[in-house]
Structure 1
Amino acid sequence: MTQTSSPLRNRYEFLLLFDVENGNPNGDPDSGNAPRVDPEDGHGLVSDVALKRRVRNYVQAAGEQIFIQHGTNLNRPIFQAKQASGGGSKGKQDVDAARRWMCEHFYDVRTFGAVMSTGANAGQVRGPVQLTFARSLDPVFAIEASITRGAVAEDIKNAKTLDDFLNWEAQQDEDKLRTMGRKSLIPYGLFATKGFVSAHLAQGTGFSEADLKLLLEALLNMYEHDRSASKGLMSSRRLFVFRHVGTDSDPQQRARQAVLGCAPAHKLLDLGQVIEVRRKDEHKPARALSDYEVTVHLDRLPAGVELLDLDSWDEARYHDGWQSR
């Protein structure tokens, strides 16, 4: 498990740019699963829950255990934690022991946090990593495309043998053996999501440097392992990671600055500050990443903050690729 190294000692923020081509990046169940769109300005949205789901799927495929899995009862691992930590009562010490067990064994608990008081009480964990809703840089145009399926799924009354089904099919007109459907998509959208990593909260969950590296790897690769017809082509394009290292000459003060931060998050993450993304031609709709120009302004990077620019996961660059003003 990746949490065996010591907890983080630096605050981090990150900005992820990802795009979708001819797909539905995040369906809204309240709108017939159409792409999520801000009704006031037409910009596309992807929920933080959807992004965390992709991260969970990736780290699980990479061999980590996760708490929130598809089609499971969450009270089962909570009960397991109570048993494994030797606690059967609801006392504070037993709850704390179960919470520590959950953080040690489940990557998503020590990363995103969890409410674990729904059955056998394992308390609550406030995760050091949080994500915002992703938002498209420009308004998106949602399309409802009609599709045809050259088959039906009909319940044939009194059909008891294979011949009954074959005879029924032979009696139908060809048009009766087709069905129509709808498919929601957007032709193209470039999205940005902002993330925050608290070194202070990492001390409480055991979220480590190794966990952070796996998180960044997952953000860059999560769509490579999440292909579906409805999603079209989704790709993580650029990941900008900001690390607070401090400026003070005194080691203790510098370590304090590294944990608490050297600049507000909005001065790092707001587009147009350090990272600028501009559409090359404002008069035609974007249909590819090449329609945008991404500029990094290192001269605007606050003192005491380093920047790592990744377009794919590279362990060597993680160690040696940090830049400062």
Structure 2
Amino acid sequence: MSEVIKNRYDFVVLFDVENGNPNGDPDSGNMPRVDAETQLGLITDVCIKRKIRNYVEMVKDDSTGYRIYIKSHAVLNKNDEEAYAALGVSVDKVAEQKKKDTDIDLKIRDWMCANFYDIRAFGAVMTTFTKAKLNCGQVRGPVQIGFAKSVEPVVPQEITITRVAITTEKDAENKNNEMGSKYIVPYGLYRCEGFVSANLARKTTGFTEDDLNLLWDAIYNMFENDHSAARGKMAVRKLIIFKHDSELGNAPSHKLFDLVSVSRKDADTSAPARSYEDYEISVKDDQIPNGVSIIIRD
């Protein structure tokens, strides 16, 4: 692998959804998440990280150092047991072994970081409260992502759908089709902000330059191989990366984020936006602080 990253990064991602449900809320019948007070659409950090994990898993195909810890149908205890087995640590006698080797906990944690990309990036709580009492530690990852929020309020709509196939023979005697429904957002442009800490990468997980480049690719392409009828048409429109010259950074994150603004091209906003072309994205690159450079992918 390449060397551990040495620069702090902050980034802004702009993506949109058309006629789809970007992140259903199980507490509200799976309708698109919204802020109850502002009606701005919301997408959780967990949802976005799921897309990134799926992309890495697809591209790397469980190659050495790029496995995914949190994935569909994964049994976490089995992954934890691998670390113990690889280091020759007995689950039943780990307390005795720690007396001889006080660094066992760190070795187990480092093994997990080295083998699982998402632990190296996002961190993880690797303690399971089972009879096995497996404990691979807790890791705070260098890559942190906030909730995505729509630029303008969204109006979730319930669409009634029909199916000509009938579920049972008994139902077929009384009806010719089945009724159902799905929720959509007609259009929404969402903004998400994130952070990459070189300090945590160096001290804890060993997140490398290769890992970082893979992260940018995963964010930029996270919807390209994740299409479904439920999510409609989703696409990343712009990825704006602020690179600091130092490990701890040269400017506060919020001041860099304030340099990115999204506005409607038409001053009359009474009509709802229905396209990315309805918006104008501006970056005040002439106000970027010393020690910070900008990279834009669109």
Q: TM-score, normalised by structure 1?
A: 0.83
Counterpart for residue 280 of structure 2: 293
1:109–1:125 Cα contact (<8 Å) kept: yes
Question: What is the DSSP-based 3-state SS (H/G/I as helix, E as strand, rest coil) of the residue aligned with 1:224?
Answer: coil
| Aligned counterparts of 2:138 and 2:87: Cα–Cα separation in 1 | 16
| Aligned counterparts of 1:35 and 1:134: Cα–Cα separation in 2 | 13
| Aligned counterparts of 1:155 and 1:40: Cα–Cα separation in 2 | 47
Q: Deviations over 1:11-37 (max 9, x none)?
A: 000000000000000000000000000
Q: Deviations over 1:110-145 (max 9, x none)?
A: 000001111411111110000000000000011001
Counterpart code for 1:81: A
Residues 1:8 and 2:8 aligned together: no
1:87–1:98 Cα contact (<8 Å) kept: no
Residues 1:274 and 2:259 aligned together: yes
Counterpart for residue 195 of structure 1: 194
Aligned pairs for 1:1-325 (under 5 A) are: 4-63=1-60, 64-88=66-90, 89-90=94-95, 91=98, 92-118=102-128, 119-154=133-168, 172-173=173-174, 176-203=175-202, 204-245=204-245, 258-269=246-257, 273-281=258-266, 282-311=269-298
Q: Which has the higher contact order (CA 8 A, sep 6+)?
A: 2
Question: What is the DSSP-based 3-state SS (H/G/I as helix, E as strand, rest coil) of the residue aligned with 2:179?
Answer: strand
- Note the residue ranges of structure 2 that are not aligned, 5 or more in a row: 61-65
1:87–1:95 Cα contact (<8 Å) kept: no
| Aligned counterparts of 1:177 and 1:113: Cα–Cα separation in 2 | 52
Question: What is the DSSP-based 3-state SS (H/G/I as helix, E as strand, rest coil) of the residue aligned with 2:222?
Answer: helix
Query: How many corresponding residue pairs?
Result: 278
When residues 155 and 103 of structure 1 are mapped into structure 2, their CA distance, relative to the original with a 3 A threshold, is farther
1:240–1:310 Cα contact (<8 Å) kept: yes
Give 1:155 shift. Answer: 7.1
Counterpart code for 1:9: K
Between the two proteins, what is the percent identity of the paired residues?
A: 49
1:280–1:293 Cα contact (<8 Å) kept: yes
| Aligned counterparts of 1:146 and 1:299: Cα–Cα separation in 2 | 50
| Aligned counterparts of 1:111 and 1:87: Cα–Cα separation in 2 | 25
Counterpart code for 1:274: L
Higher fraction of helix? 1
Question: What is the DSSP-based 3-state SS (H/G/I as helix, E as strand, rest coil) of the residue aligned with 1:223?
Answer: coil
| Aligned counterparts of 1:201 and 1:85: Cα–Cα separation in 2 | 24
Higher fraction of strand? 2
| Aligned counterparts of 2:109 and 2:259: Cα–Cα separation in 1 | 39
Counterpart for residue 319 of structure 1: none
Q: TM-score, normalised by structure 2?
A: 0.91
- Note the residue ranges of structure 1 that are not aligned, 5 or more in a row: 157-167, 246-257, 312-325
Question: What is the DSSP-based 3-state SS (H/G/I as helix, E as strand, rest coil) of the residue aligned with 1:181?
Answer: strand
Q: What is the RMSD of the two structures over their aligned residues, measured on CA atoms?
A: 1.3
Give 1:93 shift. Answer: 2.1
1:87–1:97 Cα contact (<8 Å) kept: no
| Aligned counterparts of 1:56 and 1:177: Cα–Cα separation in 2 | 42
Counterpart for residue 248 of structure 1: none
